[in-house]
Amino acid sequence: MAATLRIQSDWNQALGRDEGEAWLSCRSPGKPTLYGSLTRRGLSTEGVPDIAASEGFVVGEVTKKSILISCPRENVSTKFLAPYTTFCRIHQKSITCLDISSGGGLGVSTSTDGTMKIWQAANGEIRRLLEGHVYDVSCCRFFPSGLVVLSGGMDAQLKIWSAEDASCVVTFKGHKGGILDTAIVDRGRNVLSCSRDGTACLWDCGKSACLGVIADCGSPVNGIAVGTADNSLNLGTPEKAPSEREIGTEGKILLLAREDKKLQGVGLQSRQPVFLFVGSDAFNCCTFLSSTYILAGTQDGNIYQLDVRNTNTPIQVIHRSGAPVLSLLTYRDGFIASQGDGTCFIVQQDLDYVIDLTEADCDPVYKVRSMVCCPRQYIKG
């Protein structure tokens, strides 16, 4: 486990003041934590703060919205990014899930205030209120078209909405517990859901019907991800011919992040188990890095990277804190992760530092998304 650099959450505001200060820390497993500070000495001719670090830390590149800090003792560097903009009026309470449309124009989000809303990604202006779930809405996502939204709620219902007029066009019923996550197969003629009831189901949007239970785990399934499997991977053979309503399931593998500390891979068309990996704690989320490599995050802060062709031993285990890993998103040649202590960070193979997305509080970050039209912009909630 590598050392972790932390900075005062409102560092950009603190260092925006004359002679402002912000605290730093560098924590490495088995070693005393190194503490330090940053001090603003003035402004450069370009209007960028002139920042100095205390002993043990080195300041690299500084802009109006970012600062690169290194700790030579632990050979670790982190670039801290301040928010480009913040939308505070979409919801009254914590955001539990969000997504951005394929064109980047619209956002959809759910909240503990009991609402689900569609808003303009550019300015946070609310466009639609989606009402119909009986209890809290736990997950939401856009279809690839960007015109339709899929949601799942604690009422065990899965719903499809028009982003244009907020109408609910389809409701799926069949789960016996709250829905915790969803996935869309290809363009969206079929969708997937997982639930507290321990099952993952495949649904036909055109017929508003369940095409089958892909897996029955006997334990809540907290997160799912669907991807194209490596050609060398044996996905198994279906026990009976797939329905003609199944579109795009061939050659796909479904990942199941389970509450019972297990990460499972299942052939989407075959319904046959492909692998079962046991982790350190409950798995909360999972994603594909490629057709070969996957990521999964646990309740005790571990991020496992695995090769689906051989899951006996992880390729690596990343651990930055003991806070639950709540969201994982593939990003360029790396990934974005968020945790229950409010941290949100980016790891990329072509960078020798971690990018930390900072803000002025430590509330859990339940979901993170990247805007495809603006690949350097990230949305977190």
Give the per-residue pLDDT at 236.
95
Place of tokens 């989320």: 285
Residue numbers in the chain where pLDDT is lower than 70:
1, 360-362, 371-381
Q: Which amino acid is at 77?
A: S
Place of tokens 């939308």: 87
Give the per-residue pLDDT at 16.
76
Place of tokens 């941290």: 343
Give the per-residue pLDDT at 198.
98
d(CA 335, CA 370): 11
HEC letters along the chain:
CCCEEEECCCHHHHCCCCCCEEEEEEECCCCCCEEEEEEEEEECCCCCEEEEECCCCEEEEECCCEEEEEECCCCEEEEEECCCCCCCCCCCCCEEEEEECCCCCEEEEEECCCCEEEEECCCCCEEEECCCCCCCEEEEEECCCCCEEEEEECCCEEEEEECCCCCEEEEEECCCCCEEEEEEECCCCEEEEEECCCEEEEEECCCCEEEEEEEECCCCEEEEEEEECCCCCCCCCCCCCCCCCCCCCCCEEEEEEECCCEEEEEECCCCCEEEEEECCCCEEEEEECCCCEEEEEECCCEEEEEECCECCCCCEEEECCCCCEEEEEEECCEEEEEECCCCEEEEECCCCCEEEECCCCCCCCCCEEECCCCCCCEEEC
Sheet holding 66-71, edge to edge: 58-62, 66-71, 76-81, 354-357, 344-348, 334-339, 325-331
Give the per-residue pLDDT at 373.
38
Give the per-residue pLDDT at 287.
98
Give the per-residue pLDDT at 85.
86
Give the per-residue pLDDT at 363.
80
Beta bridge partners of 304: 296, 317
pTM of structure: 0.93
Place of tokens 């709540």: 326
